[in-house]
Structure 1
Amino acid sequence: MLGQPHFGRRLRKLRLERGLSQAAVVGEGMSTGYLSRLESGERRPTPRAVTYLAQRLGVDVSALSEPLGGGSLGHALAAASSAPPGADSTVGLLRALRDDERAEPTDRWHALWLLSRVDNSNGDHERERGRLRELIELSEFLAAPELRARTNIQYARCLRALGDLRTAESAAVTALAIAREEDLQVADTMAALVVLIGVETEMGRLDAADRYVHELERDLLPAATASQTAEALWAASLVSHRQGDHATAQNRLETALSLLRSRDDLALWTRLRTAATAAALEMSPPRLEAARRWLDEAEAAIELTGTPLQVQELRALRAHLAFHQGELDEARALCRALLSDDGLRLPYRDRARLLVLEGRLTILDGRVDEGITTLEQLGHQAAGSRNLDLAAHVWQSLATTLAQVCVPAARGAVESVRSRP
């Protein structure tokens, strides 16, 4: 016989899977109050109650009374958690998710979360989105505030990577509301605010993003860890940059970078340096020396422990850096190699910026109309998805590149006229 609270959880799961209310299950042979106490774990079931409930649910008694078998999801989770570094534990988890129909909801949540993290590190955000949708449903079923907040935070990050900012904003707002209402720990509230700041910034809502930054700095940073503070300052630096306050942006970014050593959190240490490189290249004028230094530091770490996605992100940044340094052949080669890769997994924004670079190179190569068409299409797509920050980057890049082509041509024409007798 299953003990409590496992019996109650499985009973409630079977009832909800069949779309039955408590009243529909108990019929005339049991009170809803007794069933409610069984489901909550307050009462231990009798053999007679188990038999009656199995009949009412249309399942074998073993579905309510016996522990899960040896091939259960719980065992697959244990195997995945104890696997040596580099071992692929996803196959066993996927098989158990498919075959173990009696799995506890908490085990299913845990397995889906682990698989979604693998999808994220591989850059497979479409698959990650599907898993996160199920995770959100499971979190609601489990009525666990921490799980509800964390799944919505990760869902917002995933949607942002896919370029769906409107839905990402909704998920981030939901996560923040849960964190506030349930008075969750600082880490959860900060994570919700950081992703919301990023989404609002990309949507061009700088006033809203700035308000969230002030909330972070006023209420949460004093109690935050070094890693949490670094991520918060990184997000805040982007807002300052978009507001044109490059001095504050630079100060926040450099403070964030100084808070962590590589041995503290290598993944975050590396991510901050690639993000800092991207920000330095977007400044006006670009901070090329700083960008090169940070990118070299990130590359050293990625060569040791980087994923294929991180390698692609590194190469994309190398292409942008080469372009700003006037090394157009190198920028062109890197850009073409990435865009021709069938396994390209860059997030929407990084992929779009790489396509902008390709369009700029096309114009500079003399195929002006082709390059203009590419950039105009990208600009309209970004505006249509409410990614106004990206749209502004596209139109600014188009104007700057046309000026690079047209101004020298105009000067040449003027000089030609002046030189005529």
Structure 2
Amino acid sequence: MLEQPSFGRRLKQLRSERGLSQAALAGDGMSTGYLSRLESGARQPTARAVEHLTAQLGVKASAFEEPGVTDSLAQALANATSTNSDETVEALERALSVGAGQDPLLRWQALWLVAQWRRRHNEHAKEREFLEELVRLGDELGLPALRSRGFTQLARCLRACGEITLAVDAATTAHQLARDNELPVQDMAASLLALVSAEAEAGRLSEARAHADELTALTDNRSDSLWAEARWTAAAVRVRQGDLVAAQELLEQALDGFTSSENLALWTRLRVAAARLHLQKTPPELDIAEQYVEQAETSLAFVGIPALDQEVISLKADIAFQGSRFADARALLDRVRGADPHMTYRNRVRLDVLDSRLLIIEGEEHEGLRRMRALAEEAQAASNIDLAADIWRLLAETLTDARGASPA
């Protein structure tokens, strides 16, 4: 028997899985208001309504009977895996909310998929919620590979949120699990990627360098995304150690040996990293940085990642600033801010630092100084020593430039 509210829940799920709006499902034989009340459980379905809806959806009336808890999760997982759309992932989240009685391995897989989707949309707070449950479930299952993968993804998420100490702890656990259980190269390398990045931002450069060397040796006989990321990560450590020559050599290996057909998003990010590297030289190599930015821009429309779009615009603003085109820098900065930035913690701080530096140049020295000090202290409090050091250095450089240009 079709009873509310289970009928309404199942009706909404079937509609969402097919990507239909309420108006499209209602068609000419039903008002959208009545359909909305059916989905909310406010109205009991009539035989005529069920007949119309089965015809519209192409199902039998039995399809409106809610499946068992595990079956419901399995169906939602199959739909989300085969059609990774907003609607199917949202349906998977709803299936996860039931919780009790679900197969733990199916639930782990569903949590993994939803967390990945949240990460692609730069919704790191929500991603963290799913990953923390994923890690707890992995511990309960006791499977080393699942545990290592869960801790690796959690470490990446925590780093994106600016929780550097927790990121180091999670990545260390992932690496230890991979090493002690002799997991495949993919798992070992993924854990090292997370560990090196977190250690570098925590200012633990000697450990980061040792693990980066381990990572490059581990992936040396490959030519895939893992190989390119390993060289990019090792280059980032050498940048923080001040060895820009070695960093450029590693990054150029990845730029030359990795094609856009393999992974367009990574190909684009490598060019963003190269542009930043050339901006850090003394003097900054603005022309080369702009060339890499132009290459990155050619792929943005195809990558479809808003956060990467905003990172490229922010990088263009930084190039304009270092080229003393302050009005252009301000216009580009305002463009990013007007689009509600979807960035990692580090990139959001970069944006705020550039805004503060512009304020100092524009004559609002007190406000610019206050903001940069606050950003540096916040980074230090979060144990992001590398970022804090960068902010203090930029503050000193901006003050020197601003006061050097002043008639006083």
Secondary structure of the corresponding residue to residue 88 of structure 1: helix
TM-score by length of 2: 0.80
What letter is aligned with 2:248?
Answer: Q
Could you tell me which residue of structure 2 aligns to residue 78 of structure 1?
A: 78
Structure 2 stretches lacking a partner, 5+ long: 1-66
What letter is aligned with 1:162?
Answer: C
Could you tell me which residue of structure 2 aligns to residue 311 of structure 1?
A: 309
**Contact 1:72/1:100 (CA < 8 Å) preserved in 2?**
no
State the Cα distance separating 1:339 from its structure 2 match: 3.0
**Contact 1:187/1:224 (CA < 8 Å) preserved in 2?**
no
Find out whether 1:405 has 2:402 as its counterpart.
yes
Find out whether 1:290 has 2:305 as its counterpart.
no
State the Cα distance separating 1:171 from its structure 2 match: 0.2
Q: Deviations over 1:303-336 (max 9, x none)?
A: 1232222222222222112212222112112212
1:12-411, aligned counterparts within 5 Å?
68=68, 72-83=72-83, 88-99=87-98, 101-218=100-217, 220-341=218-339, 343-409=340-406
State the Cα distance separating 1:291 from its structure 2 match: 1.9
Structure 1 stretches lacking a partner, 5+ long: 1-66, 414-421
More displaced stretch, 127-136 vs 375-384: 375-384
Cα distance change, pair 348–74 in 1 and its aligned pair in 2 (3 A): same
Secondary structure of the corresponding residue to residue 159 of structure 1: helix
Could you tell me which residue of structure 2 aligns to residue 44 of structure 1?
A: none
**Contact 1:382/1:391 (CA < 8 Å) preserved in 2?**
yes
Secondary structure of the corresponding residue to residue 220 of structure 2: helix
More displaced stretch, 248-257 vs 220-229: 220-229
Cα distance change, pair 348–69 in 1 and its aligned pair in 2 (3 A): closer
**Contact 1:72/1:103 (CA < 8 Å) preserved in 2?**
no
State the Cα distance separating 1:68 from its structure 2 match: 4.1
More displaced stretch, 303-312 vs 185-194: 303-312
Query: 1:354 & 1:205 partners in 2: Cα distance?
Result: 25
**Contact 1:156/1:195 (CA < 8 Å) preserved in 2?**
yes
Query: 1:379 & 1:251 partners in 2: Cα distance?
Result: 30
**Contact 2:376/2:391 (CA < 8 Å) preserved in 1?**
yes
Q: Deviations over 1:119-144 (max 9, x none)?
A: 11111111111100000011112222
State the Cα distance separating 1:368 from its structure 2 match: 0.9
Could you tell me which residue of structure 2 aligns to residue 5 of structure 1?
A: none
Q: Please tell me whether Structure 1 or Structure 2 has the larger radius of gyration of its CA atoms.
A: 1
Secondary structure of the corresponding residue to residue 282 of structure 2: coil
Query: 1:164 & 1:355 partners in 2: Cα distance?
Result: 18
**Contact 2:69/2:102 (CA < 8 Å) preserved in 1?**
no
What letter is aligned with 2:81?
Answer: S
Would you say how many aligned residue pairs link Structure 1 and Structure 2? 342
**Contact 2:213/2:234 (CA < 8 Å) preserved in 1?**
no
**Contact 2:196/2:208 (CA < 8 Å) preserved in 1?**
yes
Query: 1:266 & 1:79 partners in 2: Cα distance?
Result: 26
**Contact 1:73/1:100 (CA < 8 Å) preserved in 2?**
no
Cα distance change, pair 402–87 in 1 and its aligned pair in 2 (3 A): closer
TM-score by length of 1: 0.77
